Structure 1
Amino acid sequence: MTERVRVAVLAGGPSAEHEVSLQSAQAVFNALPRDLYEPVAVVVDRRGRWPVELRRDLVDVVFPVLHGPFGEDGVVQGHLETLGLPYVGCGVMASAVGMNKVAMRRAFLAEGIPVTPHVWFTEHEWRATTDHPGLVKSLDWPMYVKPAGMGSSIGISRVTCVEELRAGVELALAHDRTVVVEQGVTAREIVCGVLGGHDTPDTSVPGELIVPGDWLDYEAKYLSRAEIAAIPAVLPERVAEDVRELALRAFRAIGGYGLSRVDFLYEEDTGRLYVLEINTMPGFTSRSVYARCWAASGVPYPDLLRRLVDLAFARSGS
């Protein structure tokens, strides 16, 4: 019998997305085919402490199912690079750019990828002025206020007036020292999965997020039992093709590798598509849309995990 590949499934971490990571990692741990892999659970605690020191004599490859700062922003990826361990997903640069909403948009704009109108400012700039409306004068209400380096809809507010703007910025600053404010648009929320290496990545069928209110917040994503996605999305063929093409362009713009989920806003009235963001380690829970989009594209969950592990080895030359 061929010796099974030892896969360290990293979970937890010190970010606000600790609980989401535990759910995702549990799903990955359970679904890794046992005839091929020997999964090893490695839960990093909320203070960033590791239960074991990873080494090549203990594990063969790492699946960092970590979301948010520390796990999705290049920090863990850099650590694994120093250890010489193959790992699933984007590298240091792509992870860092993909996690930061300012750097991400700069990369997109440099490649001519459409994004919604937005502004950004630091905590110092916010505290240094009383003219808070002046910081967002190029935008119209409603707006969305977001911490630059956080995911899972944490720290995000929809604001419709100056008082709400001030409260939303304070909430965002609790998570990051840089804040992004985006123009709100009336649009459908579309997602598309990317899977593959630098040269020939593939895209999944697009899915659509079912938004119960003005936007899909943390509670709707992870705590509600209501359906959150329609897969595949019902779109005109041309729009679906544009979604997949833009997803590849966004993936390449940040230097992506392995996997990403690209989120879009689709204005039906105008036909415009905006790339909202790219997630370099999307959720892997039973409700998460990345795996569901690939299942609808003919790649069931265990096969998806196998392809991701194979890509990790391919990048490392193992």
Structure 2
Amino acid sequence: MSNSKINIALFFGGRSAEHEVSILSARSIYNAFSKEKYKIYPIAISKQGYFISPAESEAILFGEQKKVPEINRKNILDQEILNILENKIDLVFPVLHGPYGEDGKIQGFLDTLNIKYVGCDLLASAVGMDKAVMKEIFSYYNIPQSEFRILKKEDVNKQKLPKLFQKLADDLKRPFFIKPANMGSSIGISKVKELSSFKAALKEAFKYDNKLIIESSVEGREIESAVLGSGDQIQVSAAGEIISTHDFYDYQAKYKDQSTELIIPAEISEANKEKIKELSIRAFKAIGAAGISRLDFFVNEKENIILINEINTMPGFTQFSMYPLLFKEVGMSYMELLDELVNIALAEAK
């Protein structure tokens, strides 16, 4: 490269329903990166999948432009962006949450171009995003989790809803949760208690995916941990607890409700802290993750139950997001965390 700095293309926005969350994450990351060590090229992606010029992308990050514009042109990538990707960067930091970013699609695109990137590879990203596959892999590795069923749209169309509802209620008890298999930030999730809410929940979840996860409700506290590393060099953060005033930790509670509390470190026993670390590493390795992941658990200390909920391979990354806050608790600053993620990506790609 033309200078001694590490050159990074920061991808953000994207086609997912988590588009706005991605912008917030990217803004924090851009501002935190040491400009003495890194040259950052912000590259926004529109909701239609078009790459936006660096000048416009910077305006979005700095708040000078309110949103990623809708673009209608022939080429997804223009010559300026192609030149940056081919000639100016050492790696990409794809701060893209949800489908078309966290699900392996952008990772496969970068692999095809032989471009290094931060975070999990195509396969681990795809498995982490598809909760149906993820849960089946966790089952194979005997990682404890709640009872679940996988429901495809064609299966629903073949059955009468009252009969299907009753079967799920018998298998999983009530209430149970319905969620899209491929979505994050608790988008499209509903808690179901009766047939009327079942119909509405199916309709909502099918907006985002043709495959759903139906999960039994778990009595327990919501505890999260963060994982950083690859191979045998894996670090696990402190555990943190989420206390929401909502019926469950939905999108509103995560990003809009100021009453949601993050308790770091979580007030749980030392034995359970160690158990969460162990399960975090097992889950991280089970899907072949590398670089970054956040693990979500349900913990019931009275009954001595710890169940994994899911793994997120590109979690929210503002300075107030759970992932960096969990590592801050063990002495790693936001800037140090970014440095480490870049170092892991460069080392993994060799």
Tell me the TM-score normalized by structure 1.
0.97
Residues 163-210 of structure 1 deviation map (CA, whole Å, 9 limit, x = unaligned): 111111110000000011110011100000000012221100101111
Q: Give 1:160's aligned amino acid.
A: K
**Match 2:129 to one of 76, 80, 99:** 99
Residues 45-82 of structure 1 deviation map (CA, whole Å, 9 limit, x = unaligned): 00011132352412111100000000000000011111
Residues 1:237 and 1:5: Cα distance change in structure 2 (over 3 Å): same
C-alpha RMSD of matched pairs (Å): 1.3
Confirm whether residue 129 of structure 1 aligns to residue 156 of structure 2: no
1:2: how far off? Answer: 6.5
1:9-20 aligned at under 5 Å gives the runs 9-20=10-21
Residues 1:305 and 1:238: Cα distance change in structure 2 (over 3 Å): same
Residues 81-122 of structure 1 deviation map (CA, whole Å, 9 limit, x = unaligned): 111111000000000000011000011111110010011110
Q: In 1, distance between residues paired with 2:260 and 2:197?
A: 29
**Match 1:162 to one of 195, 198, 206:** 195
Q: In 2, distance between residues paired with 1:120 and 1:107?
A: 13
1:134: how far off? Answer: 4.3
1:130-279 aligned at under 5 Å gives the runs 130=160, 131-136=163-168, 137-279=170-312
Q: In 1, distance between residues paired with 2:200 and 2:231?
A: 41
SS at match of 1:225: coil
Q: In 1, distance between residues paired with 2:19 and 2:167?
A: 32
Whether the 8 Å contact between 1:221 and 1:228 is mirrored in structure 2 is no
Aligned to 1:290: 323
Confirm whether residue 120 of structure 1 aligns to residue 150 of structure 2: yes
Q: In 2, distance between residues paired with 1:165 and 1:150?
A: 19
Q: In 2, distance between residues paired with 1:291 and 1:135?
A: 41
Q: In 1, distance between residues paired with 2:145 and 2:318?
A: 28
1:85-96 aligned at under 5 Å gives the runs 85-96=115-126
**How many aligned residue pairs are there?**
317
Whether the 8 Å contact between 2:245 and 2:260 is mirrored in structure 1 is no
Q: In 2, distance between residues paired with 1:308 and 1:262?
A: 17
Residues 197-231 of structure 1 deviation map (CA, whole Å, 9 limit, x = unaligned): 12221100101111212211111111123343111
Q: Give 2:93's aligned amino acid.
A: F
SS at match of 1:16: coil
What 5-or-longer segments of structure 1 have no aligned partner?
Answer: none
Q: In 1, distance between residues paired with 2:320 and 2:233?
A: 28
Whether the 8 Å contact between 2:245 and 2:259 is mirrored in structure 1 is no
Tell me the TM-score normalized by structure 2.
0.88
What 5-or-longer segments of structure 2 have no aligned partner?
Answer: 53-80
Whether the 8 Å contact between 1:156 and 1:172 is mirrored in structure 2 is yes
Structure 1 or 2, whichever has the larger Rg, is 2
Q: Among the aligned pairs, what percent are the same residue?
A: 39
